[in-house]
Chains A and B, each alone.
Chain A
Amino acid sequence: MTKLPTPDLEGLRARFPGVFGKPLSVRLAVPALMLGAFGIFVFGLVHLGFSPARMLFGLRQLGWIVMLMLPPDPGSSLPLYLKALGETLSIALLGTTLAAVFALPVSLLAAKNIVPSNIFRFPVRRFLDSIRGVDTLIWALVWINVVGLGPFAGVLAIAVSDFGAFGKLFSEAIEAADRKQVEGIRASGGSALHEIRFGLMPQVLPVIAGQVLYFFESNTRSATIIGIVGAGGIGLQLAEQIRVLEWQKVSFLILMILVAVAAIDWISSKLRFAIIGRRAVV
């Protein structure tokens, strides 16, 4: 039996250093990253005033609050709360619809396959980005200055902040549309508007409808919080009851919000399936 030649270990090591031992910089990268992340975390805890004593105190307080919340009880203000809930749903529905109606034409301007010129598209996109960068609550404060306290300010706040989000999402959906149908329309002599109406819209409308329904769901949540700054709806009641420490009413209001959101979730997922059919599953 022939003996296998002993491998030239030293030579191999010299030729393939990466196989035998990764360089220190590579091996240390992950631990260093984690250490850095942890360092910032600890700095954050100290800087933001976390301390075990405060934590324990707060948890004890929180325990008390939870005890006081049980059982949920609306007292005598149930009709008021139901009206507020209706207001919240109305805010979400109107705000989402307004935003979608205004965002559709603008999103065409922000889509690459409709407006090929970068000079024109760039400002539209940055404009939409800036609108999205400002939170709904801030828009609510601005609109309260304009139309006064009340749910209408909430509708406009949701409409504006969703306008930014929809503009971006719709333009992405338009960019993802298939080119061939548009070309078909052009080949048969259609104008630019015909291309959009008959080539693009049938492709993108189901996608857009799905997104609008999804936003309606999430806006039901947003609409509950804009009341905190005075823009109507159930959030107003919630913030008030928290301020006066009526914990049983607070927990009842939270329960109402949970039930309403679950109901809207259910309805809109049914509708989504009805509109976009099986494709939603994929």
Chain B
Amino acid sequence: MTIAVSILPRPQLTALNGAYRKAVARKRLRFALAAAVFVAALATASFGAEVRLGTLIAHFGNFVSYFDRILTLEDGTRVWTNFTEWLWGWRKWSLLLGETILISYVGTLFGAVLAFALNFLAAENTAPALWLRVVVKRLMEFCRTVPDIVFALIFVIAFGLGPMAGVLAITIHSIGALGKQYAEIVENIDMKPVEGVRSTGASWVSCMRFAVLPQVAAGFASYTLLRFEINVRGASVMGFVGAGGIGQELVVAIRKFYYSDVSAILLMIVLTVFVIDIATGWIRGRLFGKDRRA
């Protein structure tokens, strides 16, 4: 069986082909221009960031052998052949990891409570006054744009060395990040229950409590758990600036070239982060079903 493919008459075809080529050419030109701008930006950036490919290539062996070195014990054997020697400090490190988790827990909880108090003022549909909303939003923006470790640096000077500075830094950062996410959830709610409650003459607080909160509680909890996970990672480096947790040990090990200790501590951090990831994922799944993992 033959199939007749209908071919347009030639003049019509040339016109269509011409239009197609023109469209494609315009697109290609646009793409080439964007690529040129991008490459120019990259070139400027590599000048600014003092990229020295020579150094990188000359020392790349160092990078690879660094991993070789951190996986070797002092007597020259591989770390996994002698666990007791490799993880000699596991007791001390576990305690410090526990402190790290505790720092992020307390910080996240503090931050979540404060963000909870503030977010209703920042959401477009529940804010009682425009000026208040703008002020609260700017405040949150400030809290989350300044990196938490910068806050930690300042708090270490104000509150003294120790985990307290780390907790407060994480608190401030969580207020900013959670406040924004909470407010976004609140902005997406169904407003009918709120109108219903307001029509009974309820105050603003009662509206929030009985109409908004039941709709957003699950989302809030989910975001808080995610933030906790992120904060555990953040807290693991708080020790770099003296704000408590495992970071202090790690930075000492790296700077003093205690190679096998570096890999041991890194292994413990990565394992802890994995466990926390899986645990919070499991809790989120249990609380809200699989579809609310976002």
A residues contacting the other copy or chain, number (CB 8 A) = 64
Q: Chain A, 77-115, contact with B by CB distance < 8 Å: what is the 0/1 string?
A: 000000000110111011001000000000000000000
A245→B42 CA distance, assembly (Å): 35
Asked whether A133 and B274 contact (CB < 8 A) given A90-B46, A151-B49, the answer is yes
Query: Is B153 a contact of A87 with CB atoms below 8 Å?
Result: no
CB distance from B182 to the nearest CB of A (A): 18
Does B222 sit at the interface, judged by CB under 8 A? Answer: no
Does B241 sit at the interface, judged by CB under 8 A? Answer: yes
Does B282 sit at the interface, judged by CB under 8 A? Answer: no
* Complex partner residue of B63 from A49, A50, A137, A143, CB under 8 angstroms: A143
Of A4-12, A57-65, A192-200, the one with at least 4 CB within 8 A of chain B: A57-65
Asked whether A48 and B66 contact (CB < 8 A) given A89-B45, A93-B45, A228-B240, the answer is no
Query: Is A48 a contact of B56 with CB atoms below 8 Å?
Result: no
Does A134 sit at the interface, judged by CB under 8 A? Answer: yes
Query: Is A87 a contact of B254 with CB atoms below 8 Å?
Result: no
A137→B269 CA distance, assembly (Å): 14
A229→B241 CA distance, assembly (Å): 9
Query: Is A155 a contact of B51 with CB atoms below 8 Å?
Result: yes
Does B16 sit at the interface, judged by CB under 8 A? Answer: no
A62→B149 CA distance, assembly (Å): 16
Does B220 sit at the interface, judged by CB under 8 A? Answer: no
Which of chain A's residues 168-200 have a Cβ closer than 8 Å to chain B? none
* Interface Cβ pair total, 8 Å cutoff: 163
Q: Chain B, 84-116, contact with A by CB distance < 8 Å: what is the 0/1 string?
A: 000000000000000100110110010000000
On A, residues with C-beta under 8 Å from B are 37, 40-41, 43-45, 47-50, 54-55, 57-59, 61-62, 65, 86-87, 89-91, 93-94, 97, 129-130, 133-135, 137-138, 141-143, 145-148, 150-152, 154-156, 221-222, 224-225, 228-229, 232, 235, 238-239, 242, 245, 250, 254, 257-258, 261-262
Sample of 7 more A-B contacts, CB < 8 Å, known A58-B155, A61-B159, A254-B150:
A44-B167, A48-B106, A138-B250, A151-B49, A152-B50, A228-B150, A242-B154
On B, residues with C-beta under 8 Å from A are 41-42, 44-52, 55-56, 59-60, 62-63, 66, 99, 102-103, 105-106, 109, 142, 145-147, 149-150, 153-155, 157-160, 162-164, 167, 233-234, 236-237, 240-241, 244, 250-251, 254-255, 266, 269-270, 273-274
